[in-house]
Amino acid sequence: MRLSRKWIAALLALCATTDVAVGYEGSTTLAGLTEQAALSSRLQRRMVERFGLSLGMFEPLRLDPSLLSVERARNLYVRLSALDAGQGHAPEVLTRKEGQSLSPLRQHVLGWLAAGSVLETHPAVRVRHHFVDGKTGQGLHRPSGVTSVSASAESVQQGISTVRQLLAGAAMDGTGLAATDWVESSDNDLGLPAFWTAYERAVTAPTTVARETALTEALLALGGLIGVLSQTGDPAFVHNDLSAVLSGTYARFVGQRFGRAGVPQPDAKLDVASPMRFRDLLFDGKGQGLAERTASRYLSPSMLSPSLIPAGSKPSGSGGYVSSLTVKHWLAWQPSEADPSVRSPFLDERCYTDYSTALLPEIGKFAQVGLDFLLRGDLRLSLASDTGLTVKLLDEQLGSGTLTVLGEKANGERQVIKTQATLPARPGVLTQVPLAEDSLTDYVRLAVLWKGRDRNGQPVVTSSVLSLRKTEAAPSPSAPTTETSE
């Protein structure tokens, strides 16, 4: 069927929008939550001990697109280049060398991590997978009476989908994977599988720039995962309220009130236990996930009903407020002009102020626990002439796995020295690796990668480095170069 010009013009008008609302704003709220969580976590120490980054979270890292597949490089480059430079999310563009079709990019560790949280909302259609019902764990689904056609049209109107996607039948139709499944999906380039794969290459890749690029990818995925977790602290995402997400009223209010630097620190008094699985931080079916906590205590517009207003409530002026155990301004209400006995509930800025003031520190705490969980399994290395390399496990009971020992030369090149299986272990000595003393003469540093599962059968990837020559230390993985910005 050929489309009329009038119908095409109508479709084009649908996407004439200036703002794309996607829940908590990526460049302000999500980035701020991720940064505050990182500063409160053990990320600084882990960047030093696991990757030899002397500046920790503030070490600059290069991402070289030439080391990625053509499709992956272009997709990532375009999305990163579109990030808000004013907020500092867009990485520095370095001089393109001969043979490179795309310029290398540079940003510090914390910057890449925050950029991952922002990137999780680009393109905006990704937010269809950020929903998880706080009662059932279900993902985004269409309410009764809403068709896929109307949902797709609204997503185009709000800038979530494009006209091309609508015509191809690929526009957001009001459904999506549950956020708990999205974080584990192999189709998610910022999900757990991507994080584990990139982390492994960040230790085992043979060259310095390849390891930097891989670590950058791991940090982007880590930030993306924290971004999805943080969205479950938005009432609209846990009440299946797509209209509220698309309107973005609450999200814009939070972004304007706190910005990025004003996001509060994680709640130090809130006790959030380390989960069995990362997805349990979002929803665990026992009421302890962030989505469940948010849904049980806060409202979104789709939940408002006159029945929530206690009988006998008297207006103060032209209306009033209902309080809850969590916030003073749980919802606002006003009598109808036509019939004063009819009370209409709504959410105003006082409600948004109370909601965000209580929610953001809680989200930050969950994000902090999530970061520490994904980077669990700290190792410490020591070298003795009689036993070889001793690998000590510091903080996590591990199941069986594989330990890979690599030697790093002064020019940054790494090569595998030995690989061996390890048995389940509690904190203490994980294993001892016999190494001939003369086999280490060419190396200035040892690195180990442990890959396996924890006591709950969940995947774990961890690492550590050990300097062999204090007077001839290997160059930092991101040592200053002669590259300049374009």
Please check whether residue 74 lies inside any domain of the structure. Answer: yes
**How many domains does one find in the chain?**
3
pTM over 0.85: yes
Please report the pLDDT score of residue 75 as a whole number: 93
Please report the pLDDT score of residue 125 as a whole number: 79
Strand order in the sheet with 459-467: 414-422, 398-408, 445-454, 459-467
Please check whether residue 358 lies inside any domain of the structure. Answer: no
| Residues 56, 203 share a domain | yes
Please report the pLDDT score of residue 484 as a whole number: 45
Outline where DSSP puts E strands in 91-143.
92-93, 105-108
Among 234, 252, 270, give the residue marking a domain's end. Answer: 252
β-pairing verdict for 414-422 and 398-408: antiparallel
Please check whether residue 151 lies inside any domain of the structure. Answer: no
CA of residue 65 relative to chain centroid, distance: 21
- Write out the two tokens for 265: 């620190």
Please check whether residue 157 lies inside any domain of the structure. Answer: no
Please check whether residue 260 lies inside any domain of the structure. Answer: no
Please check whether residue 422 lies inside any domain of the structure. Answer: yes
d(CA 258, CA 268): 19
CA of residue 41 relative to chain centroid, distance: 14
Among 189, 217, 252, give the residue marking a domain's end. Answer: 252
CB 401 within 8 A of CB 419: no
Please report the pLDDT score of residue 96 as a whole number: 86
pLDDT in tens, 62-109: 999 999 999 999 999 999 988 888 788 889 999 888 777 899 999 999
Among the listed residues 64, 52, 164, the one whose alpha carbon sits nearest the alpha carbon of residue 476: 52
d(CA 289, CA 275): 9
- How many CA atoms within 13 Å lie on the side-chain side of 258? 31
Name the region of 312 (left: φ>0; alpha: ψ -120 to 50; beta: rest): left
- How is 51-72 classified by DSSP, letter by letter? H--TTGGG-EEEE-GGGS-HHH
Reading the chain (486 residues) residue by residue, the pLDDT tens digits are: 343 444 334 333 333 333 455 678 989 999 999 999 999 999 999 999 999 999 999 999 999 999 999 999 999 999 998 888 878 888 999 988 877 789 999 999 999 999 999 999 988 879 989 999 999 999 998 776 667 677 667 667 766 677 776 666 666 667 889 999 999 999 999 999 999 999 999 999 999 999 999 999 999 999 999 999 999 999 999 999 988 988 889 999 999 999 999 999 999 999 999 999 999 999 999 999 999 999 999 999 999 998 898 876 665 557 789 999 999 999 999 887 777 677 889 999 999 999 999 999 999 999 999 999 999 999 999 998 767 899 999 988 999 999 999 999 999 999 999 999 999 999 999 999 998 876 788 899 999 999 999 999 999 999 999 999 754 444 555 544 445 444
CB 331 within 8 A of CB 347: yes
Please check whether residue 281 lies inside any domain of the structure. Answer: no
Reported residue count of the chain is: 486
| Residues 320, 219 share a domain | no
| Residues 122, 66 share a domain | yes
| Residues 452, 331 share a domain | no
- What CATH number does the domain containing 464 carry? 2.60.40.730
d(CA 329, CA 351): 5
Domain range for 411: 379-472
Please report the pLDDT score of residue 481 as a whole number: 47
The dihedral over CA atoms of 233, 35, 228, 231, expressed in degrees to the nearest 10, equals: 20
- Write out the two tokens for 336: 């109808």
| Residues 409, 333 share a domain | no
d(CA 33, CA 307): 35
Say which residues have a Cβ less than 8 Å from residue 142's Cβ, sequence separation at least 6.
148, 151, 173, 174, 175
CB 191 within 8 A of CB 183: yes
d(CA 230, CA 226): 6
Q: Say which residue the tokens 């442990």 belong to.
A: 450
| Residues 198, 105 share a domain | yes
| Residues 118, 212 share a domain | yes
CB atoms closer than 10 angstroms to residue 442:
12
Among the listed residues 104, 11, 20, 25, the one whose alpha carbon sits nearest the alpha carbon of residue 356: 25
| Residues 193, 127 share a domain | yes
| Residues 121, 25 share a domain | yes
Please check whether residue 436 lies inside any domain of the structure. Answer: yes
- Write out the two tokens for 355: 């909601």
| Residues 248, 119 share a domain | yes
| Residues 467, 329 share a domain | no
CA of residue 309 relative to chain centroid, distance: 37
| Residues 83, 18 share a domain | yes
